[in-house]
Amino acid sequence: MNDTPADDHRAIAARFTATVRGTDPARWDDPAPCEGWVARDVVRHLVEWFPAFLRSGAGVSLPAGPSVDEDPVAAWVVHSDGVQALLDDPATADLVVKNPHLGEMSVAQAVAMVYTSDVFLHTWDLARATGQDERLDPDRCAGMLAGMLPMDEVLRSSGHYGPRVPVPDDADPKTALLSFIGRRV
């Protein structure tokens, strides 16, 4: 992880952006690892859920780009740039987000806790769906898994993760993390 939530998001979002930009236009409707999703839906998920989270929790609105159906690359870039602008501006990064499940925290903390990690995980989903580089930082994978393991029951009951896929005890960090959230690597 990088020093600040803004730096961390910048690095993780840049990798996702490269994957979005690297997607062959003919592959946007290829199946993604998330059940029932295609590649385009990976971008749709990120572009749609987080603005609603910020709007309801902090009264913050992100800029709206084109629809993901119309232009998934532009939809992602406008969204990602908007999130980065929030983080780069102390006036918005320090705003308080109120969420019934997470409590109260700054926008920067909320981005770091729930959003940047989602972008990180979905980078693999989009890469897998579109035949691109599926590597993920092993240290970040190990750290995320260590943080998620104690919350297994809560995470699983949220409906955001599939059933855990069994892996050998000596599985590499990426395989262990992705299998934990229900992906078949």
CB 72 within 8 A of CB 20: yes
Does the residue 158 lie in any domain?
no
In angstroms, rounded to a whole number, what is the distance separating the alpha carbons of residues 53 and 176? 28
Opening angle at CA 138, ends 112 and 29, nearest 5: 75
Using alpha carbons, list the distances in angstroms from residue 48 to 53, 63, 126, 153.
9, 12, 16, 26
Opening angle at CA 157, ends 12 and 39, nearest 5: 40
Does the residue 75 lie in any domain?
yes
Q: Write out the two tokens for 141.
A: 């994978």
Q: What's the domain count of the chain? A: 1
Does the residue 146 lie in any domain?
no
In angstroms, rounded to a whole number, what is the distance separating the alpha carbons of residues 81 and 87? 10
The range of the structural domain enclosing residue 20 comes to 5-135
Report the pLDDT value the prediction gives residue 99, as an integer from 0 to 100: 85
Q: What is the mean pLDDT of each run of 10 residues along the chain (185 residues)?
A: 88 98 98 95 96 91 96 98 97 91 90 94 97 96 93 80 90 96 90
Report the SS3 class of residue 129. helix
Does the residue 140 lie in any domain?
no
Q: What is the CATH number of the domain that holds 45?
A: 1.20.120.450
Does the residue 184 lie in any domain?
no
Does the residue 153 lie in any domain?
no
Q: DSSP H helical segments within 22-63, as ranges? A: 39-58
Report the pLDDT value the prediction gives residue 1, as an integer from 0 to 100: 56
Q: Write out the two tokens for 7.
A: 């730096």
Report the pLDDT value the prediction gives residue 167, as an integer from 0 to 100: 93
Does the residue 163 lie in any domain?
no
Does the residue 58 lie in any domain?
yes
Using alpha carbons, list the distances in angstroms from residue 121 to 92, 104, 128.
25, 24, 11
